[in-house]
Amino acid sequence: MRTADIRSRFLDFFAARGHTVVPSAPLPTPDPTLLFVNAGMVPFKPYFAGEAPPPWERATSVQKCVRTLDIEEVGRTTRHGSFFQMNGNFSFGDYFKEEAVAYAWELSTSPQAEGGYGLDPARIWVTVHHSDTESRSIWRRVAGLPDERIVDRGDEDNFWSMGVPGPCGPCSELYYDRGPAFGREGGPAVDEDRYMEFWNLVFMQYERGAGPGKSGYPILGELPRRNIDTGMGLERMATLLQGVDNLYEIDETRPVLQRAAELAGVRYGADPEADVRLRVVADHVRTGLMLLADGTAPGNEGRGYVLRRILRRAVRSMRLLGYEDPALAELLPVARDCMAPSYPEVADAYPRIAEQAGAEEDAFRSSLRQGTTVLDTAVARVKESGGRSLPGAQAFLLHDTYGFPIDLTLEMAAEQGVEVDREGFTALMNEQRERARADARARKAGGAVDTTALRTVLDAHGPTDWRAWDTLETESRVIALLGPAGPVPVARTGDVVTVVLDRTPFYAESGGQESDAGVLSGASAEAEVLDVQRPLPGLVAHQVRVTAGELALDDTVHAAVDAEWRLGARQAHSGTHVLHAALREVLGPNALQSGSYNRPGHLRLDFPWRGALSTTARSEIEEAANRALRRDLPVGVRWMTLPEAKEIGALALFDETYGEKVRVVEIGGAWSRELCGGTHVDRAAQIGTVALTSEGSVGAGMRRLEAAVGIEGFGYLARERDLVARIADQLGAPRAELPDRIAGLLDRLKAADRENARLKQQATSARAGDLASAAADVNGVRTVTTTVSGTAQEARALALAVRDRLPADVPGAVAVGTEDGALVLTLNARARRSGLNASDLVKRLLDGRGGGSPETAQGGGLGREGVTAALTALPTALAAG
């Protein structure tokens, strides 16, 4: 049975039993604790945690998941995969243990002809929590399982919680006995390779308190509504039903593995180490495909870094198998064909996926060539010095400059028998991240608030009555006042606090749109609104600075959005939609927005594309955007189901979570149609203008457009006009002739630079001859020491020129210093054969500050006196050898 058929059979089974089929959420998740959805229940967390009312009593889904904590184990064991799919059925206060057990048993064991999976009931084992006698009894009654195939286990294996205070409960897991060929007899407690877990039933019936780990925390009592959360591993069921050994050999992964083996000229199963690499390729190519399909782009932080790491591990594994050519273009189409039966959007998005993956592989192949040389040199130095550990600074350089993920540096260093100072690398990474965080904090005027306190507010008062789409002003009540340490009774002038109102007109930052600015004013206080966020689903929190008086809990305030700010924000957000549509009109559908940010007067838009846009393309995009403004296209909002929105071609943001009804913003009907929760103008002409201000790279295969809009757009164009006018006046030329006039000036400057370089070379050559003829004999070494008034590069050029004029049959050494404190030392071939080493000499002269090759080395930061001392000490160093 194909994996796609196993998937559809699961959904059909539960749909026929009253479950709403919920589409898989995108892999990127808005959950601040996660980068990607890593379990089937993650999209349902707000309902289980009581943060939002569930839209259904029963639901079923097949959820795409990515886990990367075990990424180093991928391929080395046959139980780890970074991408997997979780079939699940969920009950929100409806049915409980008896029905969940009955459904799982029926679907697992019913004949395939009757819609089941046809597993042999005599080979199914289950585990239950040791305290859960009710589940044991149900398994005996519903499934007829004997006691010896119902195994008691402890908290580590059979008790579930989210790891924080909230719902929890025992679970029951189903295992299938694959037979003696896979391991020892005795059930899942003895061997989980032979007895493969394929389904976990979680019975949420308790509320837990605070506490570490998987056990030891207090159970506070029964939940008011008992819930069911189950997860069947789709790949595991495919492994069982397709009669293969592991998840790498099922129909959705084996074709990729086989194609990789063909390209590399190896046979799967012939060599254990090659098998590991083939499994890494099969897993990572599929994972990369699915992440790219869901809008993640390779990058240096967060989700982008995970994707970059996965793609680069796949490429490197192919190189280790002996395949040197670009690999992803050969492998991704195979993965696409495997996954498209279940996820047609993979095929639809494939041109964009191929573009981004190809750009990433090209960048990595270039980085690999450069970085490998750097790493090999660094490893050689470590070994020469008798060390065993590559410095953390070197690993950080490889990461920061050459794009080497730390795991790649660890792997490559280990292959050469060298460890890496991981702590030193981590410290440098933390410093870099802290600088970024400090910069972000500097733009905010206060600290974060513990979400536990906010959850208490949400539980007590319910969701915020949010009016941002309808009005700029509301009369509101302060229902929570929070400082960094928790609730406070009052905030005084100068205090920065988080305020929760029962209703608000303020737009909370989301969908790329910055939050509103404005004020809260009451009988005894005035407060400036600095930031507005949604820290929990349904709850809007305002960060404010009290500017006058005292703001207290239960105060009535007038909440007023700055009307000019909102107008600017609406222009910028609508302008982003217009620019996106114009981009796709000019470049085609692969130019799909992968990130955006807009605030009053400014917008930026990221999209996958190889290479810089031409001047013509930029002009055409800007013209297409402003043509829409001139036509004054209508801007409308419609609510519909997600399938209906997809049917009419509405574009969705991949990192957003959508409910049963979605908000579709249209500009000119089908010309621009996107799912969006932001604020917008009523007609396109209200945007004013869209003026492109820059276009550049933000990573391999990713470009960024920035534009000024509204009054800021007109201001930008006015400043450009004034600049052109000043240049025309200075050159005394009409504006139309400026390009030719400036090109002529540049040509003359280049000619002057070439002449200057020629004269410098002549002077260097003449000086080099004089210095070489005046070389002193130091212990049998023809030696020249001198200084230049120029740069270290000029010192190097002079040193090499002098060295090449010294007699070839006599050892020669040349040292040239600069006035700003650099020193270059070079040796001729005869000096090298006599045992001298330029790098060692420079380190000796500069107390370890400097280095290079045995032939030429340099150091810096010495100051004029330091250079003089080093040149003076050179004869002694040469005499010492």
Residue ranges for the known binding site for Zn(2+) are: 573, 577, 676, 680
Q: Name the strand (E) or helix (H) holding 7.
A: helix 3-15
Question: What are 201's two structure tokens?
Answer: 């039933």
346 neighbors 293 (Cβ within 8 angstroms): yes
* One-character DSSP codes across 483-498: ETTEE-SEEETT-EEE
Is 201:91 a contact under the CB 8 Å cutoff? no
Task: Name residues whose C-beta falls within 8 Å of residue 839's C-beta, 6 or more positions apart in sequence.
Answer: 851, 852, 853, 854, 857
Two tokens, residue 603? 């917008």
Rounded Cα distance between 176 and 195, Å, is 5
Report the amino acid identity of residue 268. Y
- Burial label for 133, CB within 10 Å (0-12, 13-18, 19+), is exposed
Strand partners for 389: 419
Residues of the binding site: 573, 577, 676, 680
Residue 694: how many other CB atoms lie within 10 Å: 10
- Sequence-distant (6+) residues with CB within 8 A of 531 are 444, 445, 446, 509, 515, 542, 543
| Selection from 823, 822, 817, 856 nearest residue 837 by Cα | 856
Closest CA to 360 of 420, 284, 465: 284
Residue 741 and residue 733 in contact, taking contact as beta carbons nearer than 8 Å: yes
Give me the residues paired with residue 557 across strands.
Answer: 476, 522
Residue 315 · residue 285 · CB < 8 Å: no
Say if residues 497 and 483 touch (Cβ distance below 8 Å): yes
Phi-psi region of 628 (alpha: psi -120 to 50; beta: other; left: phi over 0): alpha
Please report how many Cα atoms fall inside a 13 Å half-sphere around the Cα of residue 632, on the Cβ side: 1
DSSP string covering 443-456: HSSS----HHHHHH
CB 243 within 8 A of CB 231: no
Dist CA 104 CA 629 (whole Å): 57
Q: Alpha-carbon distance 83 to 68, whole Å? A: 9
Q: Where are the alpha helices (DSSP H) in 648-806?
A: 710-731, 738-773, 792-803
Strands annotated E in 465-619: 465-466, 473-483, 486-487, 490-492, 496-501, 503-504, 518-522, 525-536, 539-552, 556-561, 595-599, 602-608
The C-alpha angle with vertex 676 and arms to 670 and 677, in degrees rounded to 5, equals 145
Alpha carbon distances (Å) from 755 to 571, 766, 768, 790: 53, 17, 20, 18
Euclidean distance between CA atoms 9 and 226, whole angstroms: 27
Is residue 860 within 8 Å of residue 821, measured between CB atoms? yes
**How many other CB atoms are found less than 10 A from the CB of residue 251?**
17
- Regarding beta strands 525-536 and 518-522, do their DSSP bridges make them parallel or antiparallel, or are they unpaired? antiparallel
Q: What are the strands, taking DSSP E only, across 209-260? A: 219-233
